[in-house]
Amino acid sequence: MAVSKYRRFAAKLLNLAGVTINGSQPYDIQVYEENFYRRVFSQGSLGLGESYMDGWWDVPALDEFFYRILRARLDRHIRKYPALILQTALARLFNRQSSRRAFIIGKRHYDTGNELFQCMLDSGMNYSCGYWKNASGLEEAQQAKLDLICRKIALKAGMKVLDIGCGWGGFAKFAAEKYQVEVTGITVSQEQAALARERCRGLPIQIRLQDYRSLQEKFDRVVSVGMFEHVGYKNYRRFMEVVRRCLKTGGLFLLHTIGSNQSVRSTDPWIEKYIFPNSMLPSVEQIGKAINRLFVMEDWHNFGPDYDKTLLAWYQNFNRNWPKIRRNYDERFYRMWKYFLLSCAGSFRARANQLWQIVLSEEGIVGGVPAIR
């Protein structure tokens, strides 16, 4: 297929989403390199993302561009490309999220630089979806999310809480200060652990560099916020067994995770290569199988559209503070990070991805738990 034919096919596809090549609308794609079309049709999402990083194309409103192409389900019109086929095959053969590989995500993503995340996130360093129901900005949305979690698991002073994937200690600090609980947080990122310990100094909080599979202690409550996306489908059951082992009788577990509308065994090749290696999004079906005969599902809350607002707020912070941190990165990194944040915002806007908070109990709470919203 000649380059001109690739271009015509691309124009036909994009038209289904209301997008015009070199058009005048803010969501119209501006193509600067003619080989862009061949690259995308031969490499799929990996070629799309890398060509953006290389400056081959641009869109004034990148988030809206992705919202339109994802909402139109243009992927249904394109054959599966080799990178995705290979990635799916490898996921079937190997446990890419094994304990031996657990710290890869920490080194590749979360150790990118604390300064980057400090410039992007809220003051509490919460790297997960905020709760925007009554919030006017990112700070309020993240505080509301943390308080929502605490209320859903009915925290009481003196309780011992486990935070699996504690990040920079945002939840641990909030829960210890506002609800007078003791928190043990674990992470696989050295950079996160160091800053979390500094931020939580003087509070009844212990931060460990540890894989969840080695946990043995008992806790009144367990939370996991934005970490389950790194567990992998081969380990979902093991993860839930560990939580069950660590939860005291009568305790509650809250899982906060991005979710997929369908069961998959791998992630987008561009995300895998540049952002979250060895990651994948769980489905309702996969979580259901993982908790079967281990837990009673007390509450399942979806506020996926709130991640659109959260990601846009992160991008605005990142873009505004870029001059402060650009000495540590190059222009290709800037375009990569922008592409990551805004493409993900578009995916949540299109409802291609979800955000779930799931409350689980060991044997079922007599009378149930309140559906706190």
| Digit-coded pLDDT (tens) for 215-249 | 999 999 999 999 999 999 999 999 999 999 999 99
- Residues 130 and 183 placed together within one structural domain of the fold: yes
Within-domain flag for 205: yes
Task: Name every residue whose Cβ is closer than 8 Å to that of residue 245 and which is 6 or more positions away in sequence.
Answer: 215, 216
Over the stretch 146-168, which tens digit does the pLDDT of each residue have? 999 999 999 999 999 999 999 99
- Which H or E run includes 164? strand 160-164
> How many other CB atoms are there within 10 angstroms of residue 184's CB atom?
22
Q: What is the DSSP letter of 73?
A: T
Sign (positive/negative) of CA torsion 240, 243, 245, 247? Answer: negative
* Tally of CA atoms within 13 A in the half-sphere of 122 that contains its CB: 24
Whole domain around residue 148: which residue ranges?
A: 100-305+352-361
Active-site residue, selected from the candidate residues 119, 129, 200, 344 = 344
* Distance in angstroms (rounded) separating the CA atoms of residues 272 and 63: 20
Cβ pair 38, 30 in contact under 8 A: no
Domain boundary, last residue among 79, 110, 125: 79
Within-domain flag for 92: no
* Distance in angstroms (rounded) separating the CA atoms of residues 269 and 277: 9
- Residues 36 and 115 placed together within one structural domain of the fold: no
Token pair of 118, please? 């400090």
Within-domain flag for 249: yes
Sign (positive/negative) of CA torsion 164, 168, 171, 177? Answer: positive
pLDDT of 86 reads 47
Question: What is the SS3 assignment for 163?
Answer: strand
- Residues 64 and 161 placed together within one structural domain of the fold: no
Q: What is the DSSP letter of 79?
A: P
pLDDT at 95 over 90: no
* Distance in angstroms (rounded) separating the CA atoms of residues 115 and 362: 40
| Mean pLDDT value across residues 80-108 | 52
Within-domain flag for 87: no
φ, ψ (nearest 5 deg) of residue 298? -90, -35
* Distance in angstroms (rounded) separating the CA atoms of residues 258 and 253: 16
Within-domain flag for 291: yes
- Residues 63 and 113 placed together within one structural domain of the fold: no
200 is catalytic: no
pLDDT at 92 over 90: no
- Residues 140 and 245 placed together within one structural domain of the fold: yes
The dihedral region occupied by 308, where left means phi > 0, alpha psi between -120 and 50, and beta the remainder, is alpha
Over the stretch 334-360, which tens digit does the pLDDT of each residue have? 999 999 999 999 999 999 999 999 999
* Distance in angstroms (rounded) separating the CA atoms of residues 85 and 96: 16
Could you give the number of structural domains in the chain? 2
| Mean pLDDT value across residues 26-43 | 95
pLDDT of 85 reads 45
Buried (b) or exposed (e) across 252-271, using 16+ Cβ within 10 A? Answer: bbbbbbbbbeeebbbbbbbb
**Position 36 confidence tier, pLDDT thresholds 50, 70, 90:** very high
φ, ψ (nearest 5 deg) of residue 110? -70, -20
| Mean pLDDT value across residues 317-346 | 97
The dihedral region occupied by 325, where left means phi > 0, alpha psi between -120 and 50, and beta the remainder, is alpha
- Residues 47 and 125 placed together within one structural domain of the fold: no
Count of all residues that appear for the chain in the document: 373
Task: Name every residue whose Cβ is closer than 8 Å to that of residue 73 and which is 6 or more positions away in sequence.
Answer: none
- Residues 130 and 173 placed together within one structural domain of the fold: yes
Percent of the chain beyond pLDDT 90?
A: 84
Domain boundary, last residue among 79, 108, 135: 79
* Distance in angstroms (rounded) separating the CA atoms of residues 101 and 134: 40
pLDDT of 81 reads 47
CATH code of the domain covering residue 261? 3.40.50.150
